[in-house]
Amino acid sequence: MYWLYEIINELYQNGILYLAIIIMSSYVILGIYSSFEMNTYLKKNSYVDYRWIMVSPTAPPVSLIAPAYNEEATIVENVRSLMSLHYGLFEIIIVNDGSKDQTLQRLIDSCNLEQVNFAVNEQLETKPIRAVYKSTNPAFAKLTVVDKVNGGKADALNAGINVSSFKLITCIDVDCIMEKNALLVLVKPYLEESERVIATGGVIRIANSCEVEDGQITKVHLPEAWLPRYQVMEYLRAFLMGRMAWSKLNGLLLISGALGMFDKEIVIKCGGYNHQTVGEDMELVVRMRRYMHEIDLPYKVKYIPDPLCWTEAPSTNKILGRQRNRWTRGTAETLWLHRKLFLNPKYGLLGILSMPYWFLFEWMAPIVEMLGLLATILMGFLGLLNIPSTITLLVMVYLFAVLMSTIGILFEELSYRQYTSRLDVLRLLMVALFEPIVYHPRVVYWAIRGNIDILRGKKSWGEMTRAGFGPTKK
Amino acid sequence: MQEIAKELLAFLIHYFQTSDLIVQVAIIIAITCAFLTFVAYCTVFYLRIYYARIDAKRKNLKNAVEELLAIMIADEASFFEGSEESIRKNISAHFKDINLGNRFNRDTLRGEFVLLLDQLGGSSATNLKKVYYVLELHKDLLRDIHRKRDWKIVSSALHDLGLMGIQSAKKEVNARINDENAFIRQEAIVAYVHLNPEHPFDFLDNFNQELTEWQQLNLFLALSQNPFATVPEFKRWLLVENEYVVDFCLKMVSFYNQLESVPELLHLVAHANPEIRADNYYAIQKLQADDAVPALLQVYELEPIPLKLDILKAFGEIRAEETRDFLIARMHDPDFSLALQCAVSISKFPGWGQQYLEELLPYAGERMRKIILHALDKRIDVLVV
């Protein structure tokens, strides 16, 4: 039986090592690509004054669409903040998605709204629109409010698209804080690329514990609670090291639902947001890319590393768990819906690289980790485990994870240096040490739960309770 | 401690030597990761200190320069009047306490000048450029253009030279008008506009590269922000081969209301490129060129929906009587957006437009009713494109 033990042990150790090497290599390659892309981006924009776009008559007008559901507490403040964005010609479309509270009434009262005879061009199917409102106050000339029957975020966005006037649409979460120049920065790739840009997205940063004044971030702090801190670390790695690389390769599959600018014509031709999936943001981008391949037109999806949008990260395990559960389900649904692309050379890099990568390293990775853990436990019970070797392999994986996080912090220091306090940077470096042990297992667990929920047929978003950005720190 | 460390090291070496290949590979990877993490940590700390020092140096220099420049610009008579030689002496003497032999100082000064130029106008801006020239801050940039291959350095140099009006850079600028590198090319063409205010767009005669919308935007800004620049008749380039140039000139014709371009616009109605035709229709709309109406009526049915919309919008602005029946007929177009645009265009006709729609309303079906009510509601479409 010794030979059997040897074979099992070899398979186990080889499996871990080779898988680890494959994952590590992919992260290293992505990291290298990201560094080149970041470098180019920072160089070419080092002396750009985005106000130029604002004053130019040739800058394309933009429709900003924000679904709102039960946002009575903050909707007026959010709308005022959006009204003050720096851009030449843009409209703001707030879609009240059947709120049960006073969201609509608050808007009507504060913005002097009255119902208008708006003929909606129903290019995308949505739940019925009850009314469209415009303001009698010229100060709110940019604002259109759509009141509709509840249909979910995707449905609300589609309604906003139907009502929008301009060729570029920006879809946002109404409770995020947008940087004043966000539209200016997002629109630039549409102007400077030779190929047609169909989507652009920017970095979403975490606003927990940041100082907020008049709807703007005035000073950035690392979150005081550990859970959001871990998420800061995740976001730095994902945005600065992951998405920049995919943008350079033109293989990006995801523009965050919190902030993305899209070519409306292509969105409509693809059928708009899919309200059958909880990952509607990723699914739309994949469908748009798929469409462009199928009509054989060159295109780009660009990612911008500038911090353009600030959001509140979940600060409890319950809420964060729901979010990650939904992200996993969204990823799985999208991969399944577009399984035809998988390893299909007709779809170029999208099919050959992006889809397999997301399948293996984004969706399957937690499953493989869980199976690895179970195998380790089983082998331990059976007395087949070579403990020193196993510990060595785990230490290797841990140190690599710490390295990647530290490089993510280094990227941040070389680029935007949002965390001006040295203490915050030190804390972030500490987070890198604890994250693989304390936080990552929870992420894996939630991802597994998400996959189980898919098998159970769960479709809901789950309630995402937000505490709000809180009082200004002094 | 030393003993413990030695024993630990001996143990690790023994463990490494007696392990399987897989474990050895894992140990090497782990040690490499640990080492690189340590290097990354040190780099993060070093960068903090480095940037803090650089920022402090820069801030001190900026404050000093701002004071000097404020004095000079406030007291123009003392510094900028008199012979060329005396002006030079005054300026140089004023900056004697700043070590201009240091490249960091010169780079900081250049950045400060560019920022200040953005805020100044008229004679103050001219004087600022004089100071820049007298201090010979442009010489580094001219050297960089010759010696450096990094596109960022070359394009940044061209940017500053153009902005500061350094005439001696003309040769370098002209040589890079058609550069294959898009960033260098952009800065070269913008610098050309700055350095040739009387004929800022003559380079378009020989321009054979792509001109992206971003580059077009920068060209427009270079023209509009320079009070000494002569706005040319852009119709000169409306029929050239380079479609990017045609596209840019169409936008300029629209913005500057160059009515004399209408014959060329008529010619462009038949252009093969739909993007050119779209910009052309917008120019026709903006100029309210009623001469173009017959041509637009002819091509309407051949166009895809987005361009049909542009034509209908143009009709709404031109409001020519010969489009009346055309618009009325197409209010029943199966495409909702076209039908709606027809109604909106009709509503803009003085006198009969609104009246016609109001009279039609009681007899309209549900779809038409929505369209008419939208067209008649002046609270909608207040944002003008």
Q: What is the ipTM of this complex?
A: 0.89
CA A144, CA A133: separation in Å to the nearest integer? 6
Segment A315-330 mean pLDDT: 94
In the beta sheet, which residues pair with residue A263? Answer: A168
Whether the per-residue pLDDT at A473 is higher than 50: the answer is: no
Backbone dihedral angles phi then psi of residue A98, each to the nearest 5 degrees: 65, 40
> pLDDT class for A420, splitting at 50, 70, 90?
confident
Residue A70 has φ and ψ, to the nearest 5°, of 55, 55
Which residue of A392, A393, A413 is in closest CB contact with B44? Answer: A413
How far apart, in whole angstroms, are the C-alpha atoms of residue A396 and residue B344?
Answer: 68
Cβ of residue B341 closer than 8 Å to a chain A Cβ:
no
User: Which residues of chain A does B215 touch, with a Cβ-Cβ cutoff of 8 Å?
Assistant: 192
Rounded Cα–Cα distance for residues B381 and B377 (Å): 9
Rounded-to-integer distance, Cα B109 and Cα B69, Å: 11
- Are the C-beta atoms of residues A392 and B26 closer than 8 Å to each other? yes
Cβ–Cβ gap A191/B36 under 8 Å: no
Q: What is the predicted pLDDT for the residue at A66? A: 96
Q: Which residue has the tokens 């600030």?
A: A310
Gyration radius from chain B CA atoms: 32
Which residue, among A380, A376, A16, has the nearest Cα to B20 in the 3D structure? A16
Mean pLDDT confidence for A238-256? 90
pLDDT at residue B245 in the model: 97
Cβ-based neighbour number of residue B199 at 10 Å? 12
Location of structure tokens 């250049």? B110
Contact A17, B25 (CB under 8 A): yes
Q: Is B231 on the interface with A (CB under 8 A)?
A: no
Structure confidence at residue B148 (pLDDT): 75
Q: What is the mean pLDDT of residues A12-23?
A: 81
Q: Kindly calculate the radius of gyration of chain A based on its CA atoms and give it in whole angstroms.
A: 23
Q: Concatenate the DSSP letters of all residues of A35-88 into one string.
A: HHHHHHHHHHTTT--THHHHH-TTSPPEEEEEEESS-TTTHHHHHHHHHT---S
User: Chain A partners of B213 at a C-beta cutoff of 8 Å?
Assistant: 58, 190-192
Residue A234 contacts residue A440 (beta carbons within 8 Å)? no
pLDDT tops 60 at residue A284: yes
Say if the Cβ atoms of A43 and B371 lie within 8 Å: no
Query: Predicted confidence band at A467 (pLDDT cuts at 50, 70, 90)?
Result: low
Spell out the residues 6+ positions from residue A239 whose beta carbon is closer than 8 angstroms to its own.
A203, A204, A305
A173 touches A258 (CB < 8 A) = yes
Q: Is the pLDDT of residue A345 over 80?
A: yes
Q: Is B40 close to A400, i.e. CB distance below 8 A? A: no
Using 50, 70 and 90 to split pLDDT, how confident is the model at A474? very low
In this predicted structure, what is the pLDDT of residue B335?
A: 96
pLDDT band at A472 (very low <50, low <70, confident <90, very high): very low
Residue A128 backbone class (left: φ over 0; alpha: ψ -120 to 50; beta: rest): beta
| A47 interface with B at CB cutoff 8 Å | yes
- How far apart CA A399 and CA A405 sit, in angstroms, is 10
B30·A407 Cβ contact <8 A = no
Are A117 and B373 inside 8 Å of each other by CB?
yes
Note the pLDDT tens digit of each residue in B206-259: 999 999 999 999 999 999 888 889 999 999 999 999 999 999 999 999 999 999
Distance from CA of A26 to the nearest CA of B (A): 15
Q: Is B26 in contact with A409 (Cβ distance < 8 A)? A: no
pLDDT of residue A346: 93
Phi, psi of B211 (to 5 degrees): -125, 95
Chain B CA closest to residue A41: B152
What is the average per-residue pLDDT within B196-202? 95
CA distance A423 to B243: 55
Contact present, A188 and A62 (Cβ < 8 Å): no
User: Which residue type, as a one-letter code, is found at position A256?
Assistant: S
